[in-house]
Each structure stands twice: as C-alpha cells, then as structure tokens.
Structure 1
Amino acid sequence: MSYEQHLDEVTTLITEKYDVADDEAIAMVMRAQADDFFSGHDDDTSICTLDRAHEDARIVFRQYGKTAKTAKTGKGAKGGR
C-alpha cells in the first residue's frame, strides 16, 4: 500500500480497535506524523503493510492517545494537578 493508504489504515484501525472518534484518531496520526514517527514509511513504502499498520496503530494510540485524552479532559497524569 502507499504511504497515504498506510496512514489511512492506521487511523481506521485506531477507531476500530480503541473506540476512538475519527477526528481524535486523525489528530493522533497527525501528531505522530509531525513527530516523524512515519518518516521511515515515507522513505520505504515496502514497510507499509497491513501487519505494520496494526503495530503502528497500537504504538500511536499508546503514545499519542494519552495526549488526546489530556487535551480533552484538561487532566494530566497527576489528575489535573
């Protein structure tokens, strides 16, 4: 799949696996992309596979889902302290 298709697949998997709204999943993927999380994928599209999309969705949700939750609730790891 192409780089763009891979990003779409990661976004879709986040919404399906973690019951996240589309706009939140898109924001997570965009933050990961801004942090160059997907830079290797853009350079080598052979790693843009369905298996890799599942792995990337898990990692992106784990790393960037916390940011989305914090931004939504205004609470950080310390419960808003």
Structure 2
Amino acid sequence: MTYEEFLDEVTTLLHEIYDLDDAAAIKLVVDAQDAEYFVKHDDQPELRNPEQARADAVALYEAKQNKVQTQKKQQQRVQQKKRPPRA
C-alpha cells in the first residue's frame, strides 16, 4: 500500500478500535507524522501493511493515553502544592 493509504488505514483503525471521532484520529496521526513517527514507513514499503497499521494504531493510542495520565498526575501534584497546610 502507498504511504498515504497506510496513514489512512492507521486513522481508520484508531476510529474503529478506540471509537475516536474522525478529527481526533486524524490529529493523532498528524501529530505522529510531525514527530517523525512514520519516517521509517515512508522509507521501507514493507512496513506499510495491515498488521503494522494495527500495531501502530495501538502504539499511538497507548502513547497518547500515557501522556494524558502523566499530565493529570502532574496537575494533581501542582494542586496539592498550592493547598495551604491543614491546621
């Protein structure tokens, strides 16, 4: 499959597997492109297959979830530091 077809497949799988709306799935793929996640897929056509698309969709979603969880924990720590000590 072409590079563009591969990215479309990853986007579709994000929508189907994780029930992301189209905009969220597209943003996840575009952000990954910006971070050069798919460079090897562009250079190595053998990586552009349905199995790899599924693996990449899962990896991208899990990485996003981990990032969100980390941000929540950091925000909780900041909030705890702002609270005055109890008397």
Bin of the TM-score, shorter chain as denominator length: 0.7 to 0.9
- The aligned runs of 1:1-81 (5 Å cut-off) are 1-65=1-65, 76-78=71-73, 80-81=75-76
| Structure 1: distance between partners of 2:35 and 2:3 | 16
Higher helix share: 2
Rg comparison, structure with higher value: 2
TM-score (norm 2): 0.76
The Cα of 1:39 is off from its aligned counterpart by 0.3
CA distance change for structure 1 residues 55 and 46 in 2, over 3 Å: closer, same or farther? Answer: same
Over 3 Å counting, the alpha-carbon distance change for 1:47 and 1:55 in structure 2 is same
Seen in structure 2, the aligned counterparts of structure 1 residues 45 and 65 have a Cα distance that, compared at 3 Å, is farther
Unaligned runs of 5+ in 1: 71-75
Structure 2: where are the runs of 5+ without partners? Answer: 77-87
Structure 1 stretches of 4+ with a deviation exceeding 6 A read none
**Aligned partners of 1:20, 1:79: CA distance in 2, in Å?**
25
SS in 2 for 1:31: helix
In the TM superposition, residue 63 of structure 1 has moved relative to its aligned partner by 1.4
TM-superposed deviation, 1:62: 1.1
Measured on the aligned residues, the alpha-carbon RMSD in Å equals 2.0
Corresponding position of 2:79: none
Number of paired residues? 76
